[in-house]
Amino acid sequence: MLKGIHPLLGPELLHAIRTMGHGDHIVIADANFPSSFLGPKVIRADGVDAVGITEAILAHMPLDTFVPEAAWRMEVVGDPTAVPEVCATFQDLVNRLAGDFTVHSVERFAFYEMAKKAAYIVATTEFRLYGNIILKKGVVHPHEVYRVS
């Protein structure tokens, strides 16, 4: 354990978000997502749901403020205006922890294409359908960095 680090961030995931640069994407994927076959390095988060991992990541990683969109979810196949409960929860987390960002919906196969370009995919055991989100890392400002006194 470390002080000030969300307990769901294991060493591999902590390393991943630390090494990501401004503009890099991270995918938080549900249990049905084809994580292993899209290309990016997969970090397993077995026994943890997508909401918990998203909260842990957003507790330490800012979203990109230099672009119009910095968070995306997979839209419901056959009902693109639907917002599943898990996706509404993602939106609430983003608003609470990252600020005034909209989690935009993206068609399923376009979402897969975005995921192929991500720095990492976090494979969770989120069983709710459409429990997938992509986050674009922003800039950590100097006043947000820990300084040794």
Cβ-based neighbours of 34, under 8 Å, separated by 6 or more:
112
Q: For 38-90, what is each residue's pLDDT tens digit?
A: 989 999 999 999 999 999 999 999 999 999 999 999 999 999 999 999 999 99
Residue 21 phi, psi dihedral angles, 5° rounding: -105, 175
Residue 5 phi, psi dihedral angles, 5° rounding: -105, 130
At 37, list the tokens: 């076959």
Predicted confidence at residue 96, as pLDDT, reads: 97
Q: Is residue 144 within 8 Å of 65, Cβ to Cβ?
A: no
Q: Is 12 helix (H, G, I), strand (E, B) or coil?
A: helix
120 is a catalytic site residue = no
Q: Kindly name the residue from 24, 30, 49, 64 that is annotated as catalytic.
A: 64
Above 90 in pLDDT, residue 111?
yes
What domains are defined for the chain? 11-138 (3.40.1650.10)
22 is a catalytic site residue = yes
Q: Kindly name the residue from 112, 120, 141, 146 that is annotated as catalytic.
A: 112
Q: How far is CA 27 from the centre of its chain?
A: 5
Q: Kindly name the residue from 15, 22, 92, 104 that is annotated as catalytic.
A: 22
Q: pLDDT averaged over the chain?
A: 94
**Would you place residue 1 in the very low, low, confident or very high pLDDT band (cuts 50, 70, 90)?**
low
Predicted confidence at residue 90, as pLDDT, reads: 98
d(C-alpha 125, C-alpha 116), whole Å: 20
Residue 106 phi, psi dihedral angles, 5° rounding: -135, 135
**Would you place residue 25 in the very low, low, confident or very high pLDDT band (cuts 50, 70, 90)?**
very high
How many C-beta atoms surround the C-beta of residue 3 within 10 A?
4
130 is a catalytic site residue = no
d(C-alpha 122, C-alpha 115), whole Å: 11
Residue 91 phi, psi dihedral angles, 5° rounding: -60, -45
